[in-house]
């Protein structure tokens, strides 16, 4: 079930084919591997540890600012729904969501935005060229590899791009869409009594910005990686291509069955994975 439809998640999908993370965290980076098993993704670790004798090549990780998403506010949405989404980002930055909830009593709607959004990415063609030219193979002695290559139900996804942010803003509204004041002193008092690098800035009576020191990944894109059970050779799989669920045939739309681990019901961009 899709959490909600708003400008931020639409932009993430439409511009980057990206999967929003339910729990933003710093460890999700380009060249990380996910294992998809029993309809759920699990973090495996760095791609280099899948390679026999280790990957000795340096893969360039590029960075670039993303102006299309930075500081773009979502639509005004029900406070509970929005806070359920933002709560995990708040916790990841070291702030108790209950404090935010206590500071916005009476709020019925909210909007939020991510600031200082940076895209980190690898060039899949560069990785593919390295794997092909140097005959790099998977390590069959790795116990996790053994299970993966012998179980057709297990899929491997290589993360190629991530979107990170160090801060977010929160705007609050009352039932009539008017501004609902945020009790900033209450939040400041809480921050003064904990060890944190998080700071708060009042933008207006109903908007505050929180700034952290650690860039957190809140969305990613990936491709499927296959490992030949006989030779250990790497190849690109078709899983992520096959879950595209909308095709136009003679002007009509045909819906393709989507695996159960895909939660997003936006059929044009069905890449929201529960992670």
Structure confidence at residue 245 (pLDDT): 31
Phi, psi of 89 (to 5 degrees): -70, -40
Complete DSSP assignment for the chain: ------HHHHHHHHHH--EEEEEEETT--TTEEEEEETTEEEEEEEGGGGBTT---SPPP-EEEE-TTTTTPPPPPEEHHHHHHHHHHHHHHTT--HHHHHHHTTT--EEEEEEES-EEEE--HHHHHHHHHHTT-BB-TTSHHHHHHHH-TT-EEEEEEEEEEEEEEEEEEE-TTS-B----HHHHHHHHHTS----EEEEEETTEEEEEEEEEEEEEEEEEEEEE-TTT-BEEE-SHHHHT--EEEETTEEEEPP--TTB----TTS---B--
* Tokens coding 209: 């910005």
Q: If you count them, how many residues does the chain have?
A: 275
From first to last of the 275 residues of the chain, give the pLDDT tens digit: 233 445 556 656 655 567 777 778 899 999 999 888 776 778 999 999 989 888 888 899 999 998 877 888 888 888 888 887 788 888 888 888 899 989 998 899 998 888 899 999 999 889 888 888 777 888 877 888 787 777 777 888 899 999 999 998 999 999 888 999 999 999 999 998 888 888 999 999 999 999 988 899 988 888 888 888 888 888 887 654 443 332 333 444 333 333 333 333 333 333 334 44
Structure confidence at residue 257 (pLDDT): 36
Structure confidence at residue 6 (pLDDT): 52
CA triple 59-158-87, angle to 5 deg: 110
For residue 209, list its beta bridge partners.
Answer: 169, 201
For the chain, the first-to-last Cα distance in angstroms comes to 14
CA nearest to 171, candidates 79, 68, 102, 66: 79
In whole angstroms, how far apart are CA 264 and each of 59, 142, 203, 207, 267?
Answer: 31, 33, 33, 29, 8
Domain ranges of the chain: 7-255
Structure confidence at residue 11 (pLDDT): 55
Q: What is the pTM of this model?
A: 0.76
- Specify burial of residue 96 (Cβ count, 10 A radius: 0-12, 13-18, 19+): middle
CA pair distance 268, 122, nearest whole angstrom: 25
Cβ-Cβ contacts under 8 Å for 133 (sequence gap 6 or more):
none
CA pair distance 122, 110, nearest whole angstrom: 35
For residue 254, list its beta bridge partners.
Answer: 247
CA pair distance 200, 169, nearest whole angstrom: 9
């Amino acid at each position: 079930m899709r959490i909600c439809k708003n400008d931020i998640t639409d932009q993430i999908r439409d511009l980057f084919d990206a999967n929003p993370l339910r729990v933003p965290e710093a460890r999700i980076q380009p060249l990380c591997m996910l294992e998809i098993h029993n309809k759920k993704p699990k973090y495996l670790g760095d791609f280099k540890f899948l390679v026999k004798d280790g990957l000795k090549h340096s893969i360039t990780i590029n960075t670039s600012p993303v102006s299309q998403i930075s500081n773009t506010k979502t639509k005004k949405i029900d406070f509970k729904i929005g806070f359920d989404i933002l709560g995990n980002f708040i916790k990841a930055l070291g702030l108790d969501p209950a404090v935010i909830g206590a500071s916005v009593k009476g709020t019925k709607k909210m909007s939020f935005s991510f600031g200082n959004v940076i895209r980190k990415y690898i060039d899949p063609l560069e990785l593919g060229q390295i794997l092909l030219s140097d005959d790099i193979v998977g390590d069959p002695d790795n116990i996790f590899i053994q299970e993966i290559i012998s179980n057709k139900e297990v899929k491997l996804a290589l993360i190629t791009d991530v979107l990170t942010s160090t801060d977010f803003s929160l705007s609050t509204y009352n039932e009539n869409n008017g501004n609902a004041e945020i009790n900033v002193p209450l939040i400041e008092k809480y921050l003064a009594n904990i060890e944190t690098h998080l700071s708060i800035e009042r933008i207006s009576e109903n908007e505050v910005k929180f700034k952290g020191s650690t860039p957190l990944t809140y969305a990613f894109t990936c491709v499927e990686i296959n490992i030949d059970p006989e030779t250990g050779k790497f190849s690109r799989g078709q899983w992520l291509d096959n879950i595209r669920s909308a095709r136009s045939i003679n002007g009509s739309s045909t819906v393709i069955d989507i695996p159960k681990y895909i939660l997003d019901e936006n059929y044009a961009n069905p890449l929201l994975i529960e992670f």
